Amino acid sequence: MTRRDGVPRTPLGDEDGPAAATVGSHPAPEGTGHPRRRTILWALAAALLMMSTTVMAVTVALPTIARDLRATTGQLQWITEATVLALAALLITMGAIGDRYGRRRVLLAGLAVLVLAALLAAVATGPGELIAARALLGVGNAMVMPATLGIIRSVFPRDELAYALAVWAGVAGLGVVLGPMTGGLLVEHLGWRAVFLAMVPVLPAVGVAVVLVVPPTAPDRTARPDLLGMALVSGGLVAVVHAIIEAPRRGVLGEATLLGAGAAVILLGGFLARQRRTRHPMLDLRMVADHTFWPAAMAAATGFFALMGMVFLLTQYFQEVLGHSPSGAALLLLPIAAGQLAMAPITPRLIDRIGLRWTVSGGLGVLAVGLTLIPTGVHTDRHGVLLIGLFLLAAGNGAAVTAASTAMLGAAGTRQAGSVAAVIETAFKLGGSLGVAVLGGVLAGRLADHLASHTAALPAAERAFAGESISGALQSAALLGGPAGDRFTDAARQAFTAGLTHAAVLAACLALGAAVLTASTLHEPDRTHRGRR
């Protein structure tokens, strides 16, 4: 079987040549894997833990940043989403570069970029500067994340991928909570800038561990870099994420949203056309269209939609509504780490027993149950119910994402492991970005509508600021003072709680829909491979 241009095709999931199964000087055949793969996994886990910790550490500092820099909800979303924007835009490109020039080399360069970005964020004097530094953090993350997954795929055989990815997901979940916990302590005692300065000595230490433990991957010298494809996919993903971020503020049919969506369709359409015609595609489109791959990608994106969106909202809820300190708010997020870690040893056994399809769809179902418990706990002041909901949200996400990642990465050969890993990470980041934007937009709309009748007593310059975010509303209430300020504070907290409830219900409905769709469409990869061989 050949492509249109006469280049022979290889069966989906088969390896593409000797270099595809080589890591450093050690062969890593599909059946056995690399002899030091467990040690390599834990070294990569250390790098991943730093990535997820640094990304999440800023979430607990958002209220402090909002007060210090007088940032609006839109600016807070951009401080959060600038990293995601750059990350999503460059993941596939960096994955392809890692495949071409060596994944360990790209991983180490990414760690260096992260050190520079952390220094710039620490000295930022306004929201714009902080947003730019966070975007550079996204560039570094885009270099590191697909490299870690790509190396895992290169050194582990298919029958051990579920174990490796369960560890990977558990460590990522640990970072989701460790980041806010360390960030909270730093914010309380040293200020929010310390969140970024703390990264500077740690990241080089991680780099040294990678150099000592992770062998260099054999680069794929047979394929030339597709510069046009890289430009098209990066521009298209920038347009997608920009439209997602701006839609809640400008409206789904707003000019900026429609222009971004239109640009995304044109650029990504051009990328797909390019991949069909070029001799050396960045991505095998047959694999992406396979019924093993796209349902798994959709499920993973849905899991991150719910998890990241709710973490964004609950961090503010714990601090601004319940009055907890940053570190106290982080402690209340511990069930997320517990849920992710609890599923790490269980998920591979579930996959063996019930298969990938039912593990993915069942995980999404558990996630939806957790989401429904969150508003129940919020409205009844039963924090135990809320914490159980967080645990189930994380446990369901851990099972679904691990199984979905196993399906997607298992469908790939090792030669394009970096590019496929980048697609997986792109699904995660687009899902998380959508979660923050959509669920944050639901809450912001509820807050603005509910407070409209309460802002008349404020000075004109404060009215818009008061309706933009919960922190802005509470600052404006403090300016009013007296009974009027107390009423405004109560109204703001009630509006935030109502918006949080609506957001959780919406996320639960989407998770249930994704669970049903996954159960009806996801094919087991072993069945797919047998059918194609």
Residue 518: is its pLDDT beyond 50?
yes
Bigger pLDDT: 162 vs 500: 500
Rounded distance, CA 264 to CA 256, Å? 12
> Over the stretch 473-486, which tens digit does the pLDDT of each residue have?
776 666 667 776 77
pLDDT bucket at 248, cuts 50 / 70 / 90? low
Bigger pLDDT: 138 vs 2: 138
Phi-psi region of 160 (alpha: psi -120 to 50; beta: other; left: phi over 0): alpha
Please name the residues in contact with 346: beta carbons below 8 A apart, sequence gap of 6 or more. Answer: 399
Bigger pLDDT: 224 vs 123: 123
Q: Which residue has the tokens 């360390």?
A: 182
pLDDT at 7: 38
pLDDT at 361: 92
Residue 5: is its pLDDT beyond 60?
no
> Over the stretch 201-219, which tens digit does the pLDDT of each residue have?
888 888 888 888 888 876 6
pLDDT at 9: 38
pLDDT at 112: 92
Rounded distance, CA 329 to CA 248, Å? 26
Q: Which amino acid makes up residue 87? A: L
Two tokens, residue 353: 């027993």
pLDDT at 460: 62
Stretch (H or E) spanning 27: strand 26-27
pLDDT at 99: 77
Cβ atoms < 10 Å from Cβ of 205? 12
pLDDT at 26: 40
Short-list 296, 518, 519, 301, CA closest to 408: 296
pLDDT at 10: 35
pLDDT at 119: 92
Tell me what the pLDDT averaged over the chain comes to: 78
pLDDT bucket at 71, cuts 50 / 70 / 90? confident
Residue 56: is its pLDDT beyond 60?
yes
Q: How far is CA 383 from the centre of its chain?
A: 27
pLDDT at 20: 38
Q: Are 433 and 244 in contact (CB under 8 A)?
A: yes
Residue 1: is its pLDDT beyond 60?
no
- In b/e form, how buried is each residue of 272-284, taking b as 16+ CB within 10 angstroms? bebbeebeebbbb
Residue 455: is its pLDDT beyond 80?
no
Give phi and psi for 63, each to the nearest 5.
-60, -40
State what percent of residues in the chain have pLDDT above 70.
80
Q: Are 395 and 369 in contact (CB under 8 A)?
A: no
Residue 17: is its pLDDT beyond 70?
no
Cβ atoms < 10 Å from Cβ of 106? 23
Q: Are 205 and 15 in contact (CB under 8 A)?
A: no
pLDDT at 87: 79
Bigger pLDDT: 188 vs 118: 118
Stretch (H or E) spanning 22: strand 22-23
Q: How many helices (H) and strands (E) does the chain have?
A: 19, 2
pLDDT bucket at 141, cuts 50 / 70 / 90? confident
